[in-house]
């Protein structure tokens, strides 16, 4: 059958002087050579041929003939015009020929014409992507839906697989949000602690007196506040005394009673000797 169709196409091409397999015009020279390109006649008696990489012009006297190219669509239209309206198999062979020529749009059109004449044509159904499911011809989409598949992100997957993917993505999203919330909570807690530390550092010391960080610093201070350690919250070093020296414990204070006992004192408007009242 294919030979019949190819013979038909060849006969059509020869009858109109065209080359059905050529995508370009063929310029034949008198010396037997040829070139393929887009040929057109120039008004100055020359013939111009255009290639993808440039253009050349030749004298009409050098040219033997020009075979004008014909598109595959034109060949198909002429072939269809010569076929019987109910000729299913020749239409199918013509569609196969277009498919070999990579003219897929034309081939699809012809396959549908075949199905319009014979809906159960297996070859045309398969070329159009139909599948036989439970004795019924279905399109690829219908067959996949019947098998429980669904379109998902540019491909067909089982419905259960799609649900598992979406559930895993929701779990990861929830975990990510919880992690973000925990990080935000820790950042806020750290900021609060820093502010609290700064506030404590700026508080005035106890009793309005400055605090000294080590023993013996400051006037008449041992450690902590000016009144000693009570309330300061700091323990003195081992052996350190927390009391201030009393005036009576000085050498000058120890001599004061002797001086008072050797001098007269005032009593009832006069002076009396030491020891007398």
The two structure tokens encoding residue 11: 């006969």
pLDDT of residue 4: 54
226 touches 220 (CB < 8 A): yes
Q: Which long-range contacts (CB under 8 A, 24 or more apart) does 125-134 make?
A: 127/95, 127/99
31-77: pLDDT as tens digits? 988 888 888 888 888 999 888 788 999 998 898 988 887 777 888 88
Q: What residues have CB less than 8 Å from 50, skipping those under 6 apart?
A: 37, 38, 39, 40
pLDDT of residue 222: 45
Q: What is the pTM of this model?
A: 0.42
Residues counted in the chain = 277
pLDDT of residue 267: 59
CA dihedral angle for residue 230, residue 236, residue 242, residue 244, rounded to 10 degrees: -110
Cβ neighbours, 10 Å, residue 225:
22
Alpha-carbon distance values, 164 to 147, 157, 171, 211 (Å): 18, 11, 11, 66
180-213: pLDDT as tens digits? 999 999 999 999 999 999 888 888 876 655 554 4
Q: Is 195 left (phi over 0), alpha (psi -120 to 50) or beta?
A: alpha
Half-sphere exposure of 38 (CA within 13 A, CB side): 6
Whole-number Å distance between alpha carbons of 141 and 105 = 20
pLDDT of residue 26: 86
Which residues does the chain have with pLDDT short of 70? 1-23, 206-277
pLDDT of residue 220: 47
Angle CA(220)–CA(222)–CA(227) in degrees, nearest 5? 70
pLDDT of residue 116: 93
């Amino acid at each position: 059958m294919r030979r019949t169709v190819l013979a038909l196409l060849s006969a059509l091409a020869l009858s109109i002087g065209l080359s059905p397999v050529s995508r370009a015009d063929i310029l034949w020279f008198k010396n037997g050579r040829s070139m393929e390109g887009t040929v057109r006649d120039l008004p100055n008696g020359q013939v111009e041929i255009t290639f993808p990489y440039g253009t050349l012009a030749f004298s009409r006297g050098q040219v033997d003939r020009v075979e004008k190219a014909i598109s595959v669509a034109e060949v198909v239209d002429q072939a269809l015009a010569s076929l019987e309206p109910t000729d299913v198999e020749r239409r199918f062979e013509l569609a196969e020929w277009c498919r070999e020529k990579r003219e897929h749009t034309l081939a699809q059109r012809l396959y549908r014409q075949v199905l319009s004449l014979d809906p159960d044509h297996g070859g045309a159904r398969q070329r159009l992507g139909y599948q036989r499911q439970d004795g019924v011809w279905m399109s690829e989409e219908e067959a996949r839906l019947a098998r429980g598949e669904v379109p998902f992100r540019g491909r067909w997957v089982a419905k259960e697989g799609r649900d598992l993917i979406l559930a895993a993505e929701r779990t990861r999203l929830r975990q990510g949000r919880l992690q973000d919330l925990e990080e935000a909570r820790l950042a806020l807690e750290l900021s609060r602690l820093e502010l609290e530390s700064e506030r404590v550092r700026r508080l005035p010391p106890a009793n309005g007196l400055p605090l000294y960080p080590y023993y013996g610093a400051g006037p008449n201070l041992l450690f902590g506040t000016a009144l000693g350690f009570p309330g300061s919250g700091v323990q003195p070093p081992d052996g350190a005394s927390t009391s201030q020296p009393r005036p009576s414990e000085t050498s000058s204070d120890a001599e004061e009673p002797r001086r008072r006992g050797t001098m007269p004192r005032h009593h009832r408007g006069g002076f009396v000797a030491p020891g007398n009242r």
